[in-house]
């Protein structure tokens, strides 16, 4: 069964460093998303992406964040200068259409020291 | 702020009982509703989706939607210890697919 994959599963970084989180969405899906979940809190929307453009972003998704689909399979989230409060689980998701079911990847646990 | 509200629980039921999980939402424009299950440290896993008012059944799970009352529920029949998890209610209300999640209800099924 097709699934969303994410790498790395865990990432530890120093405050101020750049990190890139990678995702491979399900192959026939056209809509891609990033969410994050701080430990003990709810899942929060970061950004949606369609046709090589951001279609919506949340207030969390400020200038330190960017997304890219560098090739036909990968979808990346870059955090330019990490802060302590960026420590969270980051989930990638994809769907065929915007209001259809979103399938989540296993997540990347990011720890900023 | 468009919110999704859930009782955080924990909701504790004995094995074999019916578990009832409830959710309210504030955005009247919401069109699609999803229940995800999340085990500790894992990603959300889809359980049910519902778009229309009424009930939708899939195996041991029944989702109920009442748009007039802005209320969604999930019933789990014959609860099993493996159903012990956090259940996330969410809705999508925009053409971009953005999902808004509640904080989740922790369900404990005791053998």
CA atoms within 13 A on the CB side of B83: 28
Q: CB A85: neighbour CB atoms within 10 A?
A: 10
Q: Which residue of B4, B5, B39, B43 is the best one to mutate when testing the A interface, meaning the one whose CB has the most A CBs within 10 A? A: B43
Complete DSSP assignment for B14-49? ETTSPEEEEEEE--TT--EEEEEEE-TTS--EEEEE
A32-41 confidence digits (pLDDT tens): 999 999 999 9
Predicted local confidence at residue B31, as pLDDT = 85
- Does B1 have pLDDT greater than 70? no
Q: Do B101 and A44 touch (CB under 8 A)?
A: yes
Closest-CA distance of chain B to residue A52, Å: 13
Q: Do A99 and B97 touch (CB under 8 A)?
A: yes
**Sign of the dihedral defined by the CA atoms of residues A3, A105, A94, B22, in that order:** positive
**Predicted confidence band at B27 (pLDDT cuts at 50, 70, 90)?**
confident
B53-107 confidence digits (pLDDT tens): 999 999 999 999 999 999 999 999 999 999 999 999 999 877 889 999 999 999 9
Predicted local confidence at residue B2, as pLDDT = 63
d(CA A26, CA A32): 9
Radius of gyration of chain A (CA): 13
- Give the residue on A whose Cα is nearest the Cα of B30: A99
The token duo for A58 is 């949340």
A21-31 confidence digits (pLDDT tens): 999 999 999 99
- Give the residue on A whose Cα is nearest the Cα of B49: A101
- Does B29 have pLDDT greater than 90? no
A44-57 confidence digits (pLDDT tens): 999 999 999 999 99
First-to-final CA distance of chain B? 40
- Does A109 have pLDDT greater than 80? yes
Shortest CB distance from B44 goes to which of A43, A44, A97? A43
Q: Among residues of chain A, what percentage have pLDDT more than 70?
A: 100
């Amino acid at each position: 069964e097709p699934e969303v994959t994410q790498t790395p599963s865990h990432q530890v970084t120093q405050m101020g460093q750049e990190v890139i989180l990678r995702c491979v969405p399900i192959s026939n899906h056209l809509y891609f998303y990033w969410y994050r979940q701080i430990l003990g809190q709810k899942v929060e929307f970061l950004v949606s992406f369609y046709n090589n453009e951001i279609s919506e972003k949340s207030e969390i998704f400020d200038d330190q964040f960017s997304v890219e689909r560098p090739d036909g399979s990968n979808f990346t989230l870059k955090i330019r200068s990490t802060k302590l409060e960026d420590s969270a689980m980051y989930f990638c998701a994809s769907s065929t259409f915007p209001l259809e079911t979103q399938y989540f990847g296993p997540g990347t646990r990011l720890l900023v020291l | 702020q468009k919110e999704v509200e859930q009782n955080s629980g924990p909701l504790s039921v004995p094995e074999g009982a019916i578990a009832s999980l409830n959710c309210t939402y504030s955005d009247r424009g919401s069109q699609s509703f999803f229940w995800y299950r999340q085990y500790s440290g894992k990603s959300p896993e889809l359980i049910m989706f519902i778009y229309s008012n009424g009930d939708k059944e899939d195996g041991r799970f029944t989702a109920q939607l009442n748009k007039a009352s802005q209320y969604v529920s999930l019933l789990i029949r014959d609860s099993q210890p493996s159903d012990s998890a956090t259940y996330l209610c969410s809705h999508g209300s925009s053409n971009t697919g953005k999902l808004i999640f509640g904080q989740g209800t922790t369900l404990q099924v005791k053998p």
